Amino acid sequence: MFNLLCIETATEICSVALLQDDKLIALRENHEGNAHASQITLLIEAVMKDANIELKNLDAIAVSKGPGSYTGLRVGVSTAKGLCYALDIPLIAINTLESLAHEIIKNNNIQKANFCAMLDARRMEVYCAVFDNQMNSIKKTEAKIIDENSFADLLEISEVYFFGNGSAKCKNIFTHPNAKFIDDIKCSALNMNGIAQKLFLEKQFEDVAYFEPFYLKDFVGTIPNKK
């Protein structure tokens, strides 16, 4: 039996889960947005208390590595690395879009289709990746500006299911009959279950000292407006 702590902070949701083998033992989330730094340790503490398990009994920590929010990823990865270092346990990193797609494909018996996970990257840009129904990569993770011709090649040959918080901006643009949308799909530590377990058993761990989030794009700071 092994205990995995999963941390998901790539979007506005701050989410922590405790997995025991392939079972969800506890889950805590904050949906307020922009509260990751103040909430992450409180959520971890609550999850461990709910599960009645001490930190010293963790076998590994899995963290959503991105793409996603620059600040959110920094908070999640820094917290995960700090715990791994202090507890001397391995770090597992999971692509945010892959875990999102894995949850959709696992829970929907949809054949002969492709699945596009999308995260909002502001304006008309998204972070996206496309998988078939066996989780094989069709299009690798990329930052993409959406227009009426986006994914035209895939839509001509199969149905494509779009989901994630970046898909809403595509609904009025993709008019092809093969474009399907699955609403209200959000990033959660719960989605990391199957992939985290697989990577743990295969011992696919990261170097705690040197691992960095997968930002995909460089961070661009802005100057706040003067009041």
Q: What's the pLDDT score for residue 225?
A: 52
Q: What's the pLDDT score for residue 175?
A: 94
Distance CA 71, CA 203 (A): 28
Token pair belonging to 212: 């960095």
130 plus 157 within the same structural domain: yes
Residue 106 resides in a domain: yes
92 plus 194 within the same structural domain: yes
56 plus 72 within the same structural domain: yes
Q: How many structural domains does the chain have?
A: 2
88 plus 109 within the same structural domain: no
92 plus 108 within the same structural domain: no
58 plus 20 within the same structural domain: yes
Look up the pTM and report it: 0.92
9 plus 91 within the same structural domain: yes
113 plus 88 within the same structural domain: no
Say if residues 58 and 171 touch (Cβ distance below 8 Å): no
Q: Calculate ∠ Cα 81-14-64, nearest 5°.
A: 45
Q: What's the pLDDT score for residue 119?
A: 97
Q: In a 10 Å sphere around its CB, with 0-12 CB exposed, 13-18 middle and 19+ buried, how is residue 134 labelled?
A: exposed
Range(s) of the domain holding residue 47: 3-96+187-201
Distance CA 83, CA 112 (A): 42
Helices (H), the chain: 36-51, 70-87, 96-107, 152-155, 193-201
Token pair belonging to 160: 């494509």
26 plus 125 within the same structural domain: no
| Domain CATH number, residue 112 | 3.30.420.40
Residue 225 resides in a domain: no
pLDDT in tens, the chain (227 residues): 899 999 999 999 999 999 998 899 999 999 988 799 999 999 999 999 999 999 999 999 999 999 999 999 999 999 999 999 999 999 999 999 999 999 999 988 888 899 999 999 989 999 999 999 999 999 999 999 999 999 999 999 999 999 999 999 999 999 999 999 999 999 999 999 999 999 999 999 999 999 999 998 754 444 445 54
23 plus 65 within the same structural domain: yes
